[in-house]
């Protein structure tokens, strides 16, 4: 059973400091929803507000269309997985998992049965009597999840649960979490600063910065059509080209920069007028080394500075005539032996792959 979660104009203040400001979002039952943003953006605060550990200073939180104000964390249909997992060190694995049943007064026999079921689910069958400190990082993760699911909550909240794991484990856990979610059909609300995680796991994501919601939408939508320069540069890598709007033609806009004129696409929600300061964004993977057979809307001349081998991608760092630094990436399979530091090349990109936005702050690396 899953439930909708709705935040209506929720603000959380500490003193006069807004940890979250005027956040409104409707999360659908059964959805895998992620809050994405840098540290301090307010995502943890929102999570705690939804789970009941923090009262919102303004606004309402509804779960399954019921107002949650005044209802404590132990009475909400939510389960929270803490960043440090918060497993109970003095209890066995099985006791940890069925703790939520124990406090409700479920009999020892029934608890045992449920524990065995859940241990099966997380592939730790027969290890119920171990102590928590005897488990590996990945195993502890799974115990935390099992513990949260034991009482069959309507909403599962996850606070950056994978941040302590190494890369391979993290990738594996991402798939596992997704599968678990599909299987138990519970609303998952996930917070992370890792946009790769958010994109691969979620149905929809919400990007946050400094307490405010920047954009909500499906992953591809947010990636391909960012609404603000922050979103454009936080979610994935992006190259900003600064300039002034010269001409608007429906959804196509011409921007004039010190490195030339470019044509980009404008998002229907963005507002731009001729003469405005604007930034045109183009992703590294959308820049192609021009050859005779290609025909791109935009061309840009760049001088290669350095190169980085990432495995499946080759990342090149180059500088433009104006001194602006850009990067572009090329699949490893492509032959780039003719390019080296100092080489001057021409890069091309499509206007449909370039988004133009009003000038605003970028995500700082």
Burial of 176 (0-12, 13-18, 19+ CB in 10 A): middle
- Binding of residue 103 to other proteins (CB under 8 A): yes
- Residue closer to other proteins (CB basis): 75 or 113: 75
Q: Please select the residue that binds other proteins; options are 29, 57, 58, 73, rule is CB under 8 A.
A: 73
Strand, helix or coil at 216? strand
Alpha helix ranges (H) inside the chain: 43-51, 93-97, 99-102, 108-121, 137-149, 167-184, 195-201, 219-224, 229-234
- Residue closer to other proteins (CB basis): 136 or 251: 136
- Binding of residue 154 to other proteins (CB under 8 A): no
Nearest to 244 by CA among 269, 261, 268, 230: 261
Both tokens assigned to 310: 């990432």
User: Which stretch of DSSP H or E encloses residue 129?
Assistant: none
- Residue closer to other proteins (CB basis): 78 or 238: 78
Do residues 342 and 261 lie in contact, with contact meaning Cβ atoms separated by under 8 Å?
Answer: no
Q: How far is the CB of 350 from other proteins (least distance, A)?
A: 48
- Binding of residue 354 to other proteins (CB under 8 A): no
| Site residue total, other proteins (CB under 8 A) | 27
Q: How far is the CB of 65 from other proteins (least distance, A)?
A: 21
Q: Which range, of 20-28, 80-88, 260-268, 353-361, touches other proteins by CB under 8 A? A: 80-88
d(CA 101, CA 99): 5
- Binding of residue 79 to other proteins (CB under 8 A): yes
Count of residues for the chain?
Answer: 365
Burial of 269 (0-12, 13-18, 19+ CB in 10 A): exposed
Instruction: Estimate to the nearest angstrom the gap between the alpha carbon of 49 and the chain centroid.
Output: 19
d(CA 63, CA 42): 20
Q: Which range, of 70-78, 260-268, 285-293, 315-323, touches other proteins by CB under 8 A? A: 70-78
- Residue closer to other proteins (CB basis): 133 or 295: 133
Q: Please select the residue that binds other proteins; options are 100, 187, 224, 239, rule is CB under 8 A.
A: 100
Q: Which range, of 74-82, 203-211, 330-338, 345-353, touches other proteins by CB under 8 A? A: 74-82
* 224 C-beta neighbours (distance < 10 Å), count: 18
Q: Which range, of 79-87, 228-236, 276-284, 357-365, touches other proteins by CB under 8 A? A: 79-87
The site map against other proteins for 27-66 (x = CB under 8 A) is: ------------------------xxx-------------
Q: How far is the CB of 13 from other proteins (least distance, A)?
A: 15
Nearest to 264 by CA among 252, 246, 250: 252
d(CA 286, CA 227): 18
Q: Please select the residue that binds other proteins; options are 147, 254, 314, 327, rule is CB under 8 A.
A: 147
Q: Which residue is listed with tokens 């209890």? A: 91
Q: How far is the CB of 73 from other proteins (least distance, A)?
A: 5
Nearest to 153 by CA among 84, 52, 56: 52
DSSP state of 92: B
- Binding of residue 82 to other proteins (CB under 8 A): yes
- Binding of residue 14 to other proteins (CB under 8 A): no
Q: Which range, of 11-19, 100-108, 194-202, 300-308, touches other proteins by CB under 8 A? A: 100-108
> Could you list the residues that contact other proteins (CB under 8 A)?
51-53, 72-75, 78-80, 82, 84, 86-88, 90, 99-100, 102-104, 134, 136, 147-148, 150-151
């Amino acid at each position: 059973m899953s439930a909708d979660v709705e935040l209506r104009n929720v603000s959380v203040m500490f003193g006069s400091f807004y940890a979250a400001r005027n956040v409104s979002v409707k999360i659908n039952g059964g959805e895998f929803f992620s809050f994405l943003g840098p540290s301090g953006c307010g995502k943890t605060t929102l999570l705690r507000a939804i789970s009941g550990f923090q009262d919102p200073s303004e606004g309402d939180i509804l779960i399954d269309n019921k107002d949650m104000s005044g209802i404590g964390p132990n009475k909400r249909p939510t389960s929270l997985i803490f960043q440090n997992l918060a497993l109970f060190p003095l209890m066995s694995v099985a006791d940890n998992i069925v703790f939520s049943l124990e406090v409700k007064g479920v009999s020892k026999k029934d608890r045992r049965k449920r524990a065995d079921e859940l241990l099966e689910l997380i592939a730790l069958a027969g290890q119920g009597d171990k102590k928590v400190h005897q488990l590996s990082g990945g195993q502890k993760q799974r115990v935390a999840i099992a513990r949260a699911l034991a009482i069959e909550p309507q909403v599962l909240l996850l606070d950056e649960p994978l941040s302590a794991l190494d890369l391979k484990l993290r990738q594996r856990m991402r798939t596992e979490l997704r599968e678990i979610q599909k299987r138990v059909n519970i609303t998952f609300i996930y917070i992370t600063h890792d946009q790769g995680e958010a994109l691969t796991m979620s149905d929809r994501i919400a990007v946050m910065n400094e307490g405010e919601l920047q954009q909500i939408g499906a992953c591809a939508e947010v990636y391909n059509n960012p609404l603000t320069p922050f979103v454009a540069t936080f979610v994935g890598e992006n190259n900003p080209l600064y300039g002034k709007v010269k001409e608007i033609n429906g959804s196509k806009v011409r921007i004039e920069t010190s490195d030339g004129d470019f044509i980009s696409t404008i998002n229907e929600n963005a507002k731009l007028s001729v003469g405005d300061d604007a930034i045109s964004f183009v992703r590294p993977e959308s820049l192609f080394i021009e050859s005779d057979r290609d025909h791109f809307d935009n061309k840009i001349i760049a001088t290669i500075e350095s190169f980085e081998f990432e495995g499946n991608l080759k990342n090149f760092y180059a500088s433009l005539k104006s001194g602006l630094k850009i990067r572009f990436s090329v699949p490893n399979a492509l032959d780039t032996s003719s390019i080296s530091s100092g080489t001057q090349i021409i890069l091309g990109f499509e206007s449909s792959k370039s988004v133009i936005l009003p000038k605003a702050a970028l995500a700082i690396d």
